[in-house]
Amino acid sequence: MKVLILTSGVPFIRGGAEILAESLRDAVCVAGHQAEIVALPFQSCPPSRISEQMLACRLLDVTETCGVRIDRVIGLKFPAYLVPHPHKVIWLLHQHRTAYEFWDHPAAGDLIHYPEGPVVRDAIRQADRALIPEAEAIYTLSANVSARLRRFSGIDAEPLYNPPASAMLFYKDSAKDYFFFPSRINPVKRQWLAVQALALCREPVRVRFAGEADHEAQRAECVRSVRELRLGDRVEWLGMVSEQQKRDEYANSLGVVFPPVDEDYGYVTLEAMLSSKPVITCADSGGPLEFVVDRVTGLVADPTPESLAQAMDTLWADRRSATAMGEAGRARYADLKISWETVVENLLR
Amino acid sequence: MMAQTRGLRILIATVRVPFVDGGAEAHATGLRNALLEAGHRAEIVSVPFKWYPPQCILDQMLACRLLDLRAAGDTPVDCLIGLKFPAYLIPHPNKVVWVLHQHRQAYDLWQQPMGDLHRLPHGAEVRDAIHRADAELLPEARRLFANSRNVAARMQTYCGIQAAPLYHPPPDAPKFHGGAAEEFLYFPSRLNALKRQRLVIDALAHTRAKVRVCFSGPDIDPGYHESCMALARRNKLRSRVEWLGTTSEEAKRDLYARCLGVVFPPLDEDYGYVTLEAMLARKPVVTCEDSGGPLEFIAHRETGLVSEPTPQGLADAMDELWEDRDNARRWGEAGRQRYSDLRIDWGTVLEKLLQ
């Protein structure tokens, strides 16, 4: 088959969605097909331009190339998944989040701050409702993304999990005295919540953060809290780390702290499980809750500094339980049978 | 002024026909790599393109006008370099357009046997819309360049737009090398009616000497390769013609190095890497009077031979090269010298594009 993968992105930004599109392309090729990525530029600001880019996507024609039929297109991101095709499958990474669950989120909301915001939000919602069902089949990245699609757009879709990159390279080593928190540093990943919690811990809990800040100001803010709360060497900022170093940090950690707001899916959870480490997450963290079973493969705290501090204290003080939960997480990962073969089989069915 | 700065954020706008690689992809990639090497941040934005039925060209022109590349996230994009229709219509306050070619079906190929827009429903309306868009919107660019003098001349003729020709090196230019001439002429190109492999087969039936030609290149256009092979069989030329299909880049460079000369008689080529690659490999080029781009580089009996675009004309040129090996070698060396004199390198290109 000739397969096109349709995605949208911001030029010069390479993140999870770009890596996922490339992994999917490679997996489709491994399955014996021809696959290419069509990456359309997307600019969400000012909002008035969003409607124009939706229209641009509707105007493209990817039904054939040089007289040869394109057998299947796989839409991943808004608005690229709106490009028409008679045999389209959507594997929804997420909708345009600030038109939905992040509309009035204090840190993540953006459309809401513009006069034309409500009109653009409604246009996005109408387009999704009317046009997503054009696809022959609709899948999503996670049960969390499926639930949002059902709640906001009234559309049912089955989640289809994919493994993190280089899944087989994650390993387990003996636990040292730190929790690991790898993620881009921004208000939605809530590094600040972990910092606040540290100040309330009774145990001398330490956290190592890896990842770059979206904006330097956000990192400076975290660093300032650490100073104000006198946390000293209980916090380490590793910045951008190599994939190898990231796997080493997982392997040697006591556990992983990952308390984002309503994460779509979250490779961090899966990487922790592959490294046989327990995960501390929050009741509003979204995707991680599909994998973390409270007190079995990790701990689910309330999204408050107090509750998160208590969860960190618990694992810090009870290493035996921490180890057992990590092992249970590894076993759960194996049970889920997450593989690219399964993803490709479903998308090309 | 911009050329002195580093760290500019530059986007290259082009179109892509999915699953079809060609010179345009090599051009965009070469430009991006040169910008990265010069210390800028550069990325290619590629819009899928399909030219039939004709109305869908209008849709895609509009789609390009609706895309927004003025900023990427919160940060402005400093410069947009447009290469191909209709991606070069994407608006930007600091746009430079370096036209690889316009939509030829609406211009020089209109009502030509190689074109089909004029035969399709609404062809004339679509042609007119393309003409209007190019005439009105290309001048939005801060500077206009063309891939070659040939492309610049077409822009002048059809749209009254002036663009400066700007040559760039073929991919991996430093890897080409000369070598001792063996008993064959080489014709590397996509197998295609515009490249005119058939004309060469026809010519082989008219040569005095037993000239041999080796063809390489992908076979994409349905039926064309078969028609060439049938013609070779009919003219009993099978032992004098070799089809290598798609070769690796290394094998291609080796064939250039070993051939006696290169045959490249396309119809009105925009630019033509083949000519430049032959010059880099110190080989003379046989081309035709109506071949376009190659004529900007090949001077008759100086760096190759320019023949009439007829089987007899091309046969005479191939015979001349085949029988006079001294001249063949001399013209090849002169071609290499001419390449150096022209200063075809990415440094020069960036200086012009970003000035």
Query: Could you report the per-residue pLDDT of A168-190, keeping only the tens digit for each?
Result: 999 999 999 999 999 999 999 99
Domain ranges in chain B are 2-166, 173-341
Written out in words, the top-level CATH class of the domain with range B173-341 is alpha beta
pLDDT the model gives residue B5: 73
Indicate the burial class of A242 (C-beta count within 10 angstroms; 0-12, 13-18, 19 or more). exposed
As a whole number, mean pLDDT of residues B245-269 equals 96
- The first and second tokens of residue A24, run together, are 């999917």
What distance, in Å, lies between the first and last C-alpha atoms of chain B? 6
Give residues with Cβ within 8 angstroms of A264, minimum separation 6: A93, A94, A141, A142, A144, A145, A286, A287
Q: What percent of chain A has pLDDT over 70?
A: 100
Q: Which of A12, A34, A65 sits opposite B72 (nearest CB)?
A: A12
Written out in words, the top-level CATH class of the domain with range B2-166 is alpha beta
The conformation of residue A202, written as its DSSP 8-state character, comes to S
Strands of chain A, DSSP E: 2-9, 34-41, 64-65, 68-69, 72-77, 88-94, 137-140, 158-159, 179-182, 207-210, 235-237, 255-257, 279-282, 298-301
3-state secondary structure of A91: strand
Tens-of-pLDDT digits for all 349 residues of chain A? Answer: 999 999 999 999 888 899 999 999 999 999 999 999 999 999 998 999 999 999 999 999 999 998 899 999 999 999 999 999 999 999 999 999 999 999 999 988 999 999 999 999 999 999 999 999 999 999 999 999 999 999 999 999 999 999 999 999 999 999 999 999 999 999 999 999 999 999 999 999 999 999 998 888 888 888 899 999 999 999 999 999 999 999 999 999 999 999 999 999 999 999 999 999 999 999 999 999 999 999 999 999 999 999 999 999 999 999 999 999 999 999 999 999 999 999 999 999 9
Q: What is the pLDDT of residues B217-233, one digit of tens each?
A: 988 787 899 999 999 99
Q: What is the pLDDT of residues A265-291, one digit of tens each?
A: 999 999 999 999 999 999 999 999 999
Min Cα separation A157/chain B (Å): 28
Query: Choosing among A42, A61, A69, which should be mutated to test the B contact, i.e. which has the most B CBs within 10 A?
Result: A61
If you search the block for the tokens 């200063």, which residue do you land on? B343
pLDDT the model gives residue B114: 82
| pLDDT > 60? residue B184 | yes
Per-residue confidence band for B1, with pLDDT thresholds at 50, 70 and 90: very low
Indicate the burial class of B350 (C-beta count within 10 angstroms; 0-12, 13-18, 19 or more). buried
ipTM here? 0.90
Give the residue numbers in A contacting B (CB under 8 Å), as ranges. 2, 4, 10-13, 34, 36, 38-41, 43, 45, 49, 52-53, 55-57, 59-68, 70
CB contact (8 A) between residue B63 and residue A57:
yes
CB contact (8 A) between residue B46 and residue A41:
no
Q: List, in order of start, the domains of chain A with CATH numbers.
A: 2-160 (3.40.50), 167-336 (3.40.50.2000)
The average confidence (pLDDT) of chain A is 96
The average confidence (pLDDT) of chain B is 95
Q: What is the pLDDT of residues A97-144, one digit of tens each?
A: 999 999 999 988 999 999 999 999 999 999 999 999 999 999 999 999
Contacts of A38 in chain B (CB under 8 A): 16, 18, 46, 48
Q: Which of A41, A62, A66 sits opposite B67 (nearest CB)?
A: A41
pLDDT the model gives residue B237: 94
Per-residue confidence band for B318, with pLDDT thresholds at 50, 70 and 90: very high
Q: What is the pLDDT of residues B192-210, one digit of tens each?
A: 899 999 999 999 999 999 9
| Residue A275 CA from chain centroid, whole number | 18
pLDDT the model gives residue A312: 98
3-state secondary structure of B297: coil
Beta bridge partners of B285: B262, B304
